[in-house]
Amino acid sequence: MKTKFVYESQDIPGTDDKIWFDGNSKVAVGKPFADPTPNCFSLVSIDDCPYSTPICRSSCYTAGIKEFAPDTFAKYHLNSTTIRKYLGVDEKPILKAFTTHIQKNNIDFFRWHVSGDIFSGTYAKFIAQVCKASPDTTFWIYTRSFPWVHHITGIDNLTVNLSGDVDNIAECESTTNNNPGTRVCYMSTDGSVPEWLSNASVIFPDYNLRGRDLDTPTDAPWWNTLTQEQKRMVCPPDFFGQSENIRCGPCTKCIDQPKELVQISKL
């Protein structure tokens, strides 16, 4: 079944502005694969990713969106421009837009940034506001903006995943050590995996390492280099492919807040 993408605009009360929310079958937690809900807020890739690395830029799945999906890029660009108009000036109207959208659509799980990242400390503080204003919703985020992570940690309904790769792994390790409750999500491009990753971490294989195109995905050479514990840390939708049962939701590796020595269930 093909992944479906959805979008919905939300007016910012008292203004002529609006923002866009997006979603897709993979991340529509609690909703059917064929009928996802727009449960994400996204920005522009790379331009809104101040701490992107050479590795992640070369592997970014939304880097070419301006060319292959210009309508989607326009929505992300509008979000990027509009949110900056309110941050640190008058955040109440745009905060209301977020909470209205979440309540109107009964969104139980919300992901920050299918595209883009935390671009300032002020924005990080705003993310924290949205999460606290919607306590019945579980939020999750992936970020390389390590200097601002402290603004979004310690929030009961926000899971913070630190995106690491070979280019930023030292900073990633330091950040997770200094911010208890964060999880490392490591993107492997060459097949290597840091030995120090805890079993609460998640491993994302780059395109060349995935087994989703094989009749038997576990025949992929890279898979067979991993230990049994590392195999349990691999993102199932990325490695095996997406379906009703293999996507965010049935898998909660990135959604549940990490705890030390958590036992991750076998695939």
**Does residue 28 sit within a domain?**
yes
pTM of the model: 0.94
83: Cα within 13 Å, side-chain hemisphere:
29
**Does residue 174 sit within a domain?**
yes
Q: What is the pLDDT along the chain (267 residues), one digit of tens a residue?
A: 688 999 999 999 999 999 999 999 999 999 999 999 999 999 999 999 999 999 999 888 777 787 888 999 999 999 999 999 999 999 999 999 999 999 999 999 999 999 999 999 999 999 999 999 999 999 999 999 999 999 999 999 999 999 999 999 999 999 999 999 999 999 999 999 999 999 999 999 999 999 998 999 999 999 999 999 999 999 999 999 999 999 999 999 999 998 753 333 333
At residue 154, the pLDDT reads 95
**Does residue 147 sit within a domain?**
yes
**Does residue 210 sit within a domain?**
yes
At residue 36, the pLDDT reads 96
How many separate domains does the chain show? Answer: 1
Q: Contacts by 241-244 with C-beta closer than 8 Å and gap 24+?
A: 241/212, 241/217, 242/3, 242/25, 242/26, 242/33, 243/1, 243/33, 244/1, 244/32, 244/33, 244/34
In which domain, by residue range, is 57 found? 11-240
**Does residue 254 sit within a domain?**
no
**Does residue 156 sit within a domain?**
yes
**Does residue 231 sit within a domain?**
yes
At residue 266, the pLDDT reads 35
**Can you spell out the DSSP letters for 57-126?**
HHH-TTTTHHHH-HHHHHHHHHHHHHHHHHTTT--HHHHHHHHHHHHHTT-SEEEE-SS----SHHHHHH
At residue 265, the pLDDT reads 34
**Does residue 255 sit within a domain?**
no
| Burial class of 204 by CB neighbour count within 10 A (0 to 12, 13 to 18, 19+) | buried
